[in-house]
Structure 1
Amino acid sequence: MQIIKGAGEWAQPVGGAANDWVEQLRVPDLSVGTYCIPAGGADTQSPHTEDEIYVVTSGRARIVTPGAEAEVGPGAVIFVPAGEEHRFVDITEDLTLLVVFGPAYGSRAASPA
């Protein structure tokens, strides 16, 4: 067993960065981290090669994918399949997301030829 300290807790992005991503746990089959975007900020992520679950721990925003969009706030749980474009927009309150990747973040990334 392991207690994952700091997971899902707000952290101000460092040095004027648009957002903040911190991975707190990594094993081959999954990884857990926290993604923070300040109110009015920009979500600059690209689609991932792994399936992903977001749990909104604080803040409010709208998530947009090619096929849908939804308002999200504390307690919302969002599944995004590998490869799907997605972005948080209209961030009206500092947004904190507990993020779970399966398998671990970046583990399916294409290797250089």
Structure 2
Amino acid sequence: MEIIDSGRFRPGGDGTADFAEHLTVPALSFGTYSIPAGATDGQSPHNEDEVYVVTRGRGSFTSGGRTVEVGPGTALFVPAREEHRFHDITEDLVALVFFAPAYSGVPAGPVTGTP
């Protein structure tokens, strides 16, 4: 067993968003995503389904043409290949991130609609 402290804020060394992967098995991967207040979430769509659970911070999230406010306890599902991003981060944000299957690191091809 490994205990992972998801509440620890770990932005990139240059003050940008940072993803840290903690577990990878073929069917699933898990990590934490930290975004400093005022920073930009520059991620691209990926080939895996994704679940975020915000554990700390506040901001907004847009996916599938819908925007919601997020804060501790917010859970979000993003289907594979859907454009999405956090934005308007007002408090340093940390989210648990689950990918299924495991995150490949390969960006999705052009988004053409429903898979």
Q: Scaled by the length of structure 2, what TM-score is found?
A: 0.86
Unaligned segments of structure 1, at least 5 residues: none
> Matches of residues 1-113 of structure 1 in structure 2 within 5 Å?
2-7=1-6, 9-14=8-13, 16-106=14-104
| Contact 2:45-2:84 within 8 A present in 1 as well | yes
| Contact 2:46-2:105 within 8 A present in 1 as well | no
Runs of 4+ displaced beyond 4 Å: 107-110
AA in 2 matched with 1:53: V
AA in 2 matched with 1:5: I
How far apart in 1 are the matches of 2:92 and 2:80?
26
Moved more, 82-91 or 99-108: 99-108
Q: Deviations over 1:73-107 (max 9, x none)?
A: 00000000000000111000001010000000017
Aligned-pair RMSD on alpha carbons? 1.8
Moved more, 76-85 or 17-26: 17-26
Q: Deviations over 1:31-62 (max 9, x none)?
A: 00001000000001000100000000000010
Unaligned segments of structure 2, at least 5 residues: 109-115
Q: How many residues are aligned here?
A: 108
Q: Offset of 1:6 from its aligned partner?
A: 2.9
Sequence identity of aligned pairs in percent? 54
Moved more, 61-70 or 21-30: 61-70
